[in-house]
Structure 1
């Protein structure tokens, strides 16, 4: 359990697993969902770190990492992770992120491609409109005032237990609410990605199957028959839809571990 001073932020991270870091099996940087922290991966961390070094990061304002005077944006969080990787001297790394952390992982690969060998993104949209309408309406209600209502949730339990300043919970809710209102569409940047990508979604996710299909198409998937020899596949990219999961359970699914291990070891 350590902190690194990066970009004016005292960034918390943990290292798990004692496997040596090699070019064939680099460190895996693991990034959590919004309002969560690295602790949310506790059920799957032993399996993920059994054969590789795993670096779990608490992003700006989340869990053990105290907030600073700047908005929370995927782009700046990606720069923070890049600075941490350089600080530790472990790049290039594999990176896996879920939800908010998946967006940060994607931006890391876009903004710092030299630091990423393989990319796993679980349960993220490539544009804001990818969310179901009902979810977008919920996001619009995220404000500091909503913090009181969220104190009955696991997110508050984790934050209260781990945050340096639990009284900042309302600030975090407000900043994440502002982030969710920012329009974005990463289509062109995704088409230009040079690193192998593993997309992972729940079969009852926060996005429609059409949006998932459109995301896969940006990587060249779903355009033709794969062929007997696999020559029609979209390069090294992969798509997985995990059965009997939702956006709120996929990050602790044992099936997610299998997908990540298979992809990173391929």
Structure 2
């Protein structure tokens, strides 16, 4: 699904190993929007359009995705977080709200850890803080990803979206290889999650690719749900958890409730 919104500015920013594409939509306070694996920032569709009604939304095509070439370096959450920091620096934005889904959620999480001075509020959508947070089925599928699957993906929505915008459509197998290689590494960011200072909202589907117990553990790492909130709410901190009922990992990105939930958190006093 593509977005009906039209960017008012776009371009490329030099980063380590290549350059990253960005597009700016709407006016107002800056909000960085980071897409999921094998997608582009435009895949958010109506979510992007809704967010841009009251915000300056900076959509970024992460390494190898959309209009950004794969370049030679290995793909990692840490490197892509540095790319996002470079885009903000290029645009002269000292601090922004950040919202990322799946692969983009991990990138946003790393941005808050590696560049805390750049993140005002953080919204993490359908993303675990550790590799073990994925259901086995999903973990096995991601680790099996390789360029050999490219032929079988022809005609799929993900492949069609890539062909629509990619500078070189022949790079699709390269993207699959790089993601598959990235997914071989285990990670556990629990200690670093505890250090995040930006108010953070976690948003998941009730039938997500992330384990339900892991979702609860994620919120607890942020200090959430560890005690009763008290009648006056004094027991709460600045972090929030939202579960969208009847949603999945594959539908949440364009679910109308996602934008409304995120806006309510980002715009809260």
Q: TM-score range by the shorter chain?
A: over 0.9
Mapped contact 1:82–1:112 kept (Cα < 8 A): yes
Question: C-alpha distance in 1, partners of 2:121/2:42?
Answer: 23
Question: C-alpha distance in 1, partners of 2:142/2:87?
Answer: 30
Question: C-alpha distance in 1, partners of 2:266/2:139?
Answer: 33
Q: Which has the higher mean CA deviation after the structures are superposed, 3-12 or 122-131?
A: 3-12
> Per-residue deviation at 1:140?
2.4
- SS of residue in 2 equivalent to 1:5: strand
1:214 matched to which residue of 2? 217
1:225 matched to which residue of 2? 228
1:115 matched to which residue of 2? 118
- Output one character per residue of 1:207-257: Cα deviation in whole Å (capped at 9) or x when no partner: 221111111110111211111111111x11000001111000101111111
Mapped contact 2:13–2:86 kept (Cα < 8 A): no
Runs of 5+ in structure 1 lacking a partner? 20-25
63, 85, 100: which one aligns with 1:60: 63
The count of aligned residue pairs is 259
Question: C-alpha distance in 2, partners of 1:8/1:129?
Answer: 30
1:244 matched to which residue of 2? 246
3, 6, 9: which one aligns with 2:15: 6
Query: Do structure 1's residue 131 and structure 2's residue 140 form an aligned pair?
Result: no
2:171 matched to which residue of 1? 168
- SS of residue in 2 equivalent to 1:149: helix
Question: C-alpha distance in 2, partners of 1:116/1:138?
Answer: 32
- SS of residue in 1 equivalent to 2:97: strand
Mapped contact 1:31–1:102 kept (Cα < 8 A): yes
- SS of residue in 2 equivalent to 1:3: strand
2:187 matched to which residue of 1? 184
Question: C-alpha distance in 2, partners of 1:223/1:64?
Answer: 43
Question: C-alpha distance in 2, partners of 1:140/1:247?
Answer: 17
- Output one character per residue of 1:150-205: Cα deviation in whole Å (capped at 9) or x when no partner: 22321101111111111011110011011111110000000111110000000100
Question: C-alpha distance in 2, partners of 1:132/1:180?
Answer: 14
- Output one character per residue of 1:106-155: Cα deviation in whole Å (capped at 9) or x when no partner: 00000000111110010001110111111122122211111112223211
Mapped contact 2:42–2:48 kept (Cα < 8 A): no
145, 159, 162: which one aligns with 2:162: 159
1:258 matched to which residue of 2? 260
Runs of 5+ in structure 2 lacking a partner? 1-9
Structural RMSD (CA): 1.0
Mapped contact 1:7–1:83 kept (Cα < 8 A): no
Question: C-alpha distance in 2, partners of 1:79/1:208?
Answer: 28
- Output one character per residue of 1:62-93: Cα deviation in whole Å (capped at 9) or x when no partner: 00011211111000000010011011111200
Question: C-alpha distance in 2, partners of 1:188/1:124?
Answer: 16
